[in-house]
Structures are given as C-alpha cells and as structure tokens.
C-alpha cells in the first residue's frame, strides 16, 4: 500500500494540476486565435493577391479573371441570340396567323370562280324565258347548264354514287322505304333512287336516299 499524502502534498498537487490546465487552455486559445487571424486558403481566396503573394498566386488570379471574362462574353452572346430568336419567332407567328386569316377569307375563291359560268348560263336562260315561248331553246339551255354542272363536279372530285339496282349498302345508301317486289333477284336491292348520293374523292358526302325491294 502507498503512503498517505499529507495535506501539504495535496495542496501542492492541486496547484500543479491547475497550472497544467491553465497552460493547456492558454495554448488552445492561442491556436484558435491564430486560426482565426490567419489568411484564407489559396483555393478560396477572392481578393486580389497582395504584393507579398507568390507568382503562382498571381497567375491563378489572372486565370480566374480571364475565365470570368470569357464566361461573361459567352453569356452576352447567348442573350443576344435568344433576343434575336425570340423576335424572329414572334414575326413568324404573326405572319402565319395573318396567312391563316387570309386563307379562311378566300378559301372558296377557286370554287366560286369555277361556278360563276354556270350562274351566267342561268341568267341567260331566265332572260330567254321572259322574251319568248321557245321551249326548245329553253330546254337546250337547261341541258347546257346541267352539262356544265356535271363537268364542274368531275373537276372538283365529286362523283355520283351508283345506287339503282345495286345491293343495299348502309354505308352508301339511306333507305326511306321498302316495297314488295316479285322478282327474287331484286329483293334487298335498290329499286328506286329518291335523291342521288355523292362522293368527294373517296369520302361519302351525301348518302343516296333510296327505296329497297323486299
């Protein structure tokens, strides 16, 4: 067993521990103060290098400044391109909108130009009716108008649906009535056309109204 320490030895040990603690605390405080007062690392320095800095620091600074200037130039160039592109798109949008409006206004121009001669023939036929009783000439005039109409339809891609004596087809025909027929080969077929149907190119624009045999 060790010897017991006297009160004087305890006091001496206490003073020694306190001095050691004060020394360590003072040393730690000096380290913190030195860290706080010290310069920033080279990789995050933002201010212009002082005269005491090395040539490498100055070169790094000049390099960063040069890269920044290049980036600013590129940004200005991109902004200029964006402004020009935005203006061009706005002009294109306005132009196409104007063209669409003009197209909608004059979409039927070709149609009416092609049908106007038929209107001229109608007016001449009406004038002949008022001037005399020459029904033969009137019939010839109406036949001429009908021929012109037929030709106009062909040029426009409009053609008649073949319906009479054909099997009933709900995609082409609209049955308005059914009548009994004696002939077996006429049952289920169109026996009379009340109103003609028409195609526009390959599309049915009006179904033929027909009477079907049964």
Same structural domain, 208 and 178: yes
Same structural domain, 83 and 96: yes
Same structural domain, 174 and 199: yes
Same structural domain, 151 and 166: no
Same structural domain, 166 and 193: yes
Token readout for 5 is 């320490």
Q: How much is the pTM?
A: 0.47
Q: Tell me the average pLDDT of the chain.
A: 76
Instruction: Please give the tally of structural domains in the chain.
Output: 3
**Domain with 208 in it: what CATH number?**
2.30.22.10
Same structural domain, 120 and 147: yes
Same structural domain, 205 and 165: yes
Residue 184 lies in a domain: yes
Contacts of 160 (CB under 8 A, 6+ apart): 196, 197, 198, 199
Better-predicted residue by pLDDT, 38 or 63 = 63
Same structural domain, 150 and 195: no
The Cα 25–Cα 19 span in angstroms is 10
Same structural domain, 98 and 132: no
Residue 67 lies in a domain: no
Residue 1 lies in a domain: no
pLDDT level of residue 173 (50, 70, 90 thresholds) = very high
Better-predicted residue by pLDDT, 55 or 142 = 142
Please state the rounded mean pLDDT for residues 37-57.
Answer: 54
Residue 180 lies in a domain: yes
Same structural domain, 161 and 214: yes
Residue 127 lies in a domain: yes
Same structural domain, 163 and 214: yes
Task: State residue 57's pLDDT score.
Answer: 73
Element of type H or E holding 204: strand 203-206
Using CA atoms, how far residue 175 sits from 160, 183, 209, 214, in Å, is 17, 19, 6, 12
Task: State residue 48's pLDDT score.
Answer: 57
Residue 176 lies in a domain: yes
Which is nearest to 209 in space by CA: 150, 198, 187, 201?
198
Q: Which residues of 139-173 are buried (b: 16+ CB within 10 A; e: fewer)?
A: eebeeebeebeeeeeeeeeeeebebeeeebeeebb
Task: State residue 44's pLDDT score.
Answer: 40
Same structural domain, 121 and 161: no
Residue 175 lies in a domain: yes
Token readout for 128 is 């002949």
Query: Which residue segment(s) compose the domain that 135 sits in?
Result: 116-155
Task: State residue 30's pLDDT score.
Answer: 46
Helices 135-155 and 109-131 pack at an angle, to 10 degrees, of 170
Residue 52 lies in a domain: no
pLDDT digits (tens, 9 = 90+) for 80-114: 899 999 889 989 888 888 888 777 776 677 777 77
Using CA atoms, how far residue 90 sits from 76, 86, 96, 148, 175, in Å, is 21, 6, 10, 47, 54
Number of residues assigned to the chain: 214
Q: 138 with 125: CB under 8 angstroms?
A: yes
158-160, strands of its sheet edge to edge: 158-160, 198-200, 203-206
């Amino acid at each position: 067993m060790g010897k017991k320490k006297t009160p004087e030895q305890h006091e001496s040990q206490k003073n020694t521990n306190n001095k050691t603690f004060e020394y360590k605390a003072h040393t730690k405080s000096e380290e913190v103060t030195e860290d706080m007062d010290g310069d920033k690392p080279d990789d995050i320095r933002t201010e212009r290098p002082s005269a005491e800095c090395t040539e490498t620091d100055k070169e790094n600074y000049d390099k960063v400044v040069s890269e920044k200037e290049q980036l600013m130039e590129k940004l200005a160039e991109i902004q200029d391109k964006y402004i020009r592109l935005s203006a061009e798109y706005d002009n294109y949008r306005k132009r196409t909108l104007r063209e669409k409006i003009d197209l909608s206004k004059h979409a039927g121009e070709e149609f009416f130009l092609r049908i106007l001669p038929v209107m001229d023939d109608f007016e001449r036929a009406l004038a002949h009716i008022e001037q005399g009783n020459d029904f033969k000439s009137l019939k010839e005039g109406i036949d001429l108008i009908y021929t012109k109409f037929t030709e106009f339809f062909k040029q426009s891609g409009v053609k008649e649906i073949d319906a009479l004596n054909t099997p009933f087809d709900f995609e082409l025909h609209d049955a308005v009535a059914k009548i009994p027929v004696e002939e077996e080969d006429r049952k289920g077929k169109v026996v009379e056309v009340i109103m003609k149907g028409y195609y526009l190119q390959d599309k049915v624009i009006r179904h033929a109204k027909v009477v079907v045999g049964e």
